[in-house]
Chains A and B, each alone.
Chain A
Amino acid sequence: MNRTGRVAVAIALAVLPLVAGDFYINLSSQIFVAAIFAASLNLLVGYGGLTSLGHASWIGLASYTSAWLYLKMGVGHMISAPMALGGTTLVAGIFGWIALRATGLGFLMITLALSQVVWGTAYRWASVTNGDNGLTGLTRPAPFGIDLDGAAAFYYFALIITAFSLWMMAKFVNSPFGAALRGTRDQPRRMSALGHDVWLIRWIAFVYSAFWGAVAGLLYVYYNKYIHPTALSLTNSAEGLLGVIAGGSGTLAGPVVGAAIVVIMKNYVSAYIERWNMLLGFVFVAIVLFMPDGLVPGLRRLWARWRAK
């Protein structure tokens, strides 16, 4: 997107709450959460060549840690946020070490198994997580005393966090480390021969990706003021993955667009079709079979062909 385009988007985002109703403002906040989630997952999938099916674990771990600290220990957000982020990143370090013992399909299976263990624990460890009832009565933070309970206020908060997160991820991707990560995706053996520690590069990418997943998790629990085990489900991880492949894993912006599409589809479609899961499944199959580069490049091609007629 060129400069004018970017400025236009920035202006549109800035004035949205002034022109749209609460429903659209809230929808946009949800899109922000999904955008950080999908973009962070894409650091692994698109740039690292490692497909993880356990990304939702980070949302869950960060959300539950924040919620538990508040409800059980009365800890305020200033302390619970870094603790939630730190704790989740620590667990990610361990999970990453385990999962990277195998690459390719082994990695995928292990991330799935690990995330299912976390999900199952969220359901069963009722004394901590309140099981199927979830944890309610949560609050949003009040940075500098500003109340974020209103839709517009939270929107701007989420917008700032999202912009910052994407900016940091862009730096990561454009850095020498990002180039090395892409190298390990394309020719891991060669990268080793050149002196790069492929395992360490992947592990760092895994942990970094999880950190931003945790950031998405905090935004998620602040937005909903509620956390339930379904947030850690395979379906949630799959929706993130859908956002990545729908938007195209080759760029940083692709997953953001993809995530927006998934959130909008979910919100609108569920009004007409009860079977969101089935639709999700069909969309997955359709995209993989017919538009493997993602919706965005696929649609662009269709658009170009239509223009040519």
Chain B
Amino acid sequence: MDYPLQFWAIQTLNSLSLGGLLFLLSSGFSLIFGLMRIANLTHGSLFMLGAYVGATMLKFIPNLWLAALAGGVLVAAFGALFERLVLRALSGNVLGQVLVTLGVSFIVADLCLMVWGGDPIPVPTPESLRSAVIIAGLPFPSYRLVVLGIAIATWLGLYLLMERTRLGAMIRAGVDDMQMARAVGIPVSRLFTTVFFLGALLAAAGGIIGGPIMSAYPGLDADMLPLALIVVILGGVGSLIGALVGSFIIGFIYTFGTAMFPDLAYVILFLPMIFVIAFRPQGLFGRVTT
């Protein structure tokens, strides 16, 4: 198996940008699960919906970043509404909440199919980033480097949010001990809606930012959701650093796996998951809950 340096370089960059996108997707999932104890199976569809909405927005707002923000906020608002009206009504009913997120994921997926049709919608790379950057004599597509940068910046932003702001302190308190958080007067229902909004925003923005790399296509949700699940299982629920590390591990395994063993790429993903579950069921950075 002789691969040229070019191959390793490209696949490494692809792994890093996929890892970045996975972080945008799974950080929200992990926060929602960690704080609200809801396995939000709609998360993959939010990513996909973001990609579609963003692609459409690009027709009116020619700037990818603004379209990502606008599309993200729109989808996140829908997500927050869903949380307030539906998930809230089922608080305490864990199975019900999961089934409802599953149901909504089907509705959203079919809605996208209905509105945007069955053909993949390509999302154009921003003009300024179409060129390649030469590092050590090898060309690297600029856009992928930027995606990596955005993911790291997002992580930094989330880290500062969690460690330096009141909102972050409340989230951390809620993740640690919900009963205590309620007891000290943290406005739990407003916190839930805010976190769900944030998680959905990250997923949807991730979808449009990933657009130039993945396009918007039916089935994007089904492709992304299991990856997010594996990232969170690997990294540990409710842990941002876990989501970051997990995302890049999966990004690498998935990219190299698909490139080198296309038939069995999914099986290879399997392995780190089993390894973690066997030896550290709470995930690499998760905490043991009794």
Contact = CB atoms under 8 A, between A and B. Distances in A.
Contact of B103 (A105, A106, A275, A280): A280
B229 A109 contact: yes
Contacts of A234: 102, 222
Interface residues of B, number: 46
B33 interface: yes
Contacts of A235: 106
Interface stretch (B165-173, B177-185, B267-275): B267-275
Contacts of A27: none
A113 B104 contact: no
A164 interface: no
A275 B110 contact: yes
Interface stretch (B17-25, B55-63, B258-266): B258-266
A284 interface: yes
B109 interface: yes
B253 interface: no
Given A238-B102, A292-B93, A117 B114 contact: no
Contacts of B114: 275, 278
B110 A278 contact: yes
A266 B86 CA distance: 25
Nearest to B271: A117
A125 B103 contact: no
Main secondary structure of the interface of B (DSSP, over half): helix
Contacts of A238: 102, 106
B154 to A, nearest CB: 23
Interface in A214-248: 233-235, 238, 241, 245
Contacts, number: 121
Interface in B216-238: 222, 225-226, 229-230, 232-233, 237
Contacts of B104: 281, 285
Contacts of B90: 288-289
Contacts of A105: 33, 37, 39, 94, 98
A53 B101 CA distance: 13
A282 B105 CA distance: 10
Interface in A88-117: 98, 101-102, 104-106, 108-110, 112-114, 116-117
Contact of B86 (A241, A278, A285): A285
A292 B267 CA distance: 36
B9 interface: no
B10 interface: no
A277 B37 contact: no
A288 B99 contact: yes
A125 B86 CA distance: 39
Given A109-B232, A275-B110, 15 more contacts: A102-B281, A105-B39, A113-B230, A116-B226, A116-B229, A117-B270, A121-B264, A124-B264, A245-B99, A275-B114, A277-B110, A278-B111, A281-B108, A283-B103, A292-B96
Interface of B: 33, 37, 39, 41, 86, 89-90, 93-96, 98-100, 102-111, 114, 222, 225-226, 229-230, 232-233, 237, 262-267, 269-270, 273-274, 277-278, 281
7 contacts: A51-B98, A112-B229, A113-B230, A114-B270, A278-B111, A285-B104, A292-B96
